[in-house]
Amino acid sequence: MINIDFLTLRDFFQENIDFIIGARLQKIQQPTRRDFIFSLRNNAESKKLYININPQIYHLAFMSKLAEERRNIKIPKHPPMFCMLLRKYLEGCRIDDARVVENERILEMFFEITDELAQKRSLCLCVELMGKHSNVILYDRETSVILGCAHNVGSEKSRYRELQGGLRYIYPPVHPIKTDIPCLYKVLDYPKNISINEILDDYYSKIQEEINVKEEKSKLIAIVQPKLKKANNSLGKINALLKKRDNTDKYKLYGELLTANIYQKCDYNKSIEVYDYVNNHNITIDLDETKSLKENAQRYFKLYTKSKTTKEKSQVMLSELNIQKEYLENVLYSIESSNKLFELKEIEEELGISDIKPSKTRKEEILKVQINGFDVYVGRNNKQNDYIVSKLARDEDYWFHTKLCAGSHVLLRVQEKEPDEGTIFECCKIAREYSSAKQPSKVGVIYTKAKYLRKPPASPLGYVTYKCEKEILV
């Protein structure tokens, strides 16, 4: 990443000076403690000046709608104190003058205001874009007394300059100018006819989107991975328990053999030897010596019923856990393969942890490719997968999915003619590409017509059962 430099800031200011000077500051917003949005209006035009003082991506630019989406800006219900201070003094005022401090990455905007005593005051909103020292400061132009800062700097943080309300504002120490630093907007590969503002807005919003995607991925993975681990542990425990204690058939046999040998009059004994007609040899059955032979037979039948019920419930739990495991594996794959913030937001909505109202999946959000004249749709998460199966799929369309591994649902739209083998194979390759299968091993891809798909009641998003499937190794 290339940081903003003095030359870029100066040229940005010169490019927008006619709009900045004389603009009315209509609205002030502070989404986080490190970024600001100033809604300005001048020359019958409204623009949003975005200022970011994050040490990693400090910059400013007039923000487009696309860049605003990339930045994933959320306005808090309760603004920070510094935002309230700026609103008190500056909201509704005009920018009388502005300048970029010579050889510094500092933009100053001056406001003439009338205070509560009806006296004229000149205030300066100072934007310092200087790496870890980036800040936004409001101070009185005549007295240089600071009214407030985005973040205060005490003596423990800087021995050169303290910044907080009540202190005098002074410029940062002068450092030798580095002539070898490249001018940002000239180094970046953008068309020559594009403005400096558009370059700054596009370049830094893309970086912010990458950072947001990375953070969102980490947050979602931290939620899904423990759930998947818990499901795998539960599956392992239930399988081990079934293998270790599956005495269902033995209890039934013992009950039947004791019933058949009641005539032996072996009541209140520790054991009895009987002929096992199933395995054709004599066996010894342990008895409860406080009970009769008939009561022992009933005891084994009760153990059989209990074991059978436990086994049936365990099988149901296994089935539910396998569905949950498959679902969570698909969610984890969707998170790891996503590179767009809106896709991760859909996963967040799906998991029920979003603080916004769930949105409906739209057809245009689904990845669409063309293969030999056929439209092919690829779901990038369970929400999109579910939309493909429940909304897009028609009976004669073909559905593809990798076997025994997480992946996208792929739908081949059939129009007038049936797809040939080459088209089918290309769709299988797409299903393999958009899956968690690792290269270079071969993976089975199953496909069937959409009419053979079924979504069980109360099943998670994107889960389907199928029949009449075929398999191709890719």
Predicted confidence (pLDDT) at residue 349 exceeds the cutoff of 90? no
Q: The tokens of 282 are what?
A: 């004599």
**d(Cα 366, Cα 359) in Å, to the nearest integer?**
14
Asked if 444 and 431 touch (Cβ cutoff 8 Å), the reply is: no
- pLDDT tens, residue by residue, 381-390: 888 999 999 9
Predicted structure pTM score: 0.74
Asked if 426 and 441 touch (Cβ cutoff 8 Å), the reply is: no
**For residues 221-236, average pLDDT:** 94
Asked if 109 and 24 touch (Cβ cutoff 8 Å), the reply is: no
Average pLDDT, the chain: 90
User: Given pLDDT bands bounded at 50, 70 and 90, which one contains residue 343?
Assistant: confident
- pLDDT tens, residue by residue, 175-215: 666 656 678 888 888 998 899 999 999 999 999 999 999 99
Asked if 49 and 63 touch (Cβ cutoff 8 Å), the reply is: yes
The pLDDT of residue 465: 92
Question: Which of 337, 395, 331 minimizes the C-alpha distance to 367?
Answer: 337
* Upper half-sphere CA count for residue 454 (Cβ side, 13 Å): 8
Give the chain's domains with CATH numbers.
6-208 (2.30.310.10), 245-330 (no CATH), 360-473 (no CATH)
What is the per-residue DSSP string for 315-378?
HHHHHHHHHHHHHHHHHHHHHHH--SHHHHHHHHHHTT--SSPPPPP-GGGSEEEEETTEEEEE
**For residues 264-273, average pLDDT:** 86
- pLDDT tens, residue by residue, 415-452: 888 999 999 999 999 999 999 887 778 899 999 999 99
Burial classification of residue 67, based on how many CB atoms lie within 10 Å of its CB (0-12 exposed, 13-18 middle, 19 or more buried): buried
Alpha-carbon torsion (424, 428, 434, 440), positive or negative: negative
Predicted confidence (pLDDT) at residue 153 exceeds the cutoff of 70? yes
The pLDDT of residue 233: 94
- pLDDT tens, residue by residue, 232-242: 999 998 888 77
In 129-238, the DSSP E strands lie at 135-140, 146-149
Q: H or E segment at 237? A: helix 196-244
User: Given pLDDT bands bounded at 50, 70 and 90, which one contains residue 160?
Assistant: confident
**For residues 315-326, average pLDDT:** 90
Asked if 449 and 395 touch (Cβ cutoff 8 Å), the reply is: yes
**For residues 397-423, average pLDDT:** 92
The pLDDT of residue 239: 86
Predicted confidence (pLDDT) at residue 342 exceeds the cutoff of 80? yes
The pLDDT of residue 356: 60
**For residues 116-134, average pLDDT:** 91
The pLDDT of residue 137: 97
Predicted confidence (pLDDT) at residue 135 exceeds the cutoff of 80? yes
Q: What is the DSSP letter of 157?
A: T
Percent composition of the chain: helix, strand, coil (DSSP 3-state, to 5): 40, 25, 35
**Ranges 333-337, 391-395, 459-463: which has the least confidence:** 459-463
Asked if 223 and 17 touch (Cβ cutoff 8 Å), the reply is: no
High-pLDDT (> 70) share of the chain, %: 96
User: Given pLDDT bands bounded at 50, 70 and 90, which one contains residue 144?
Assistant: very high
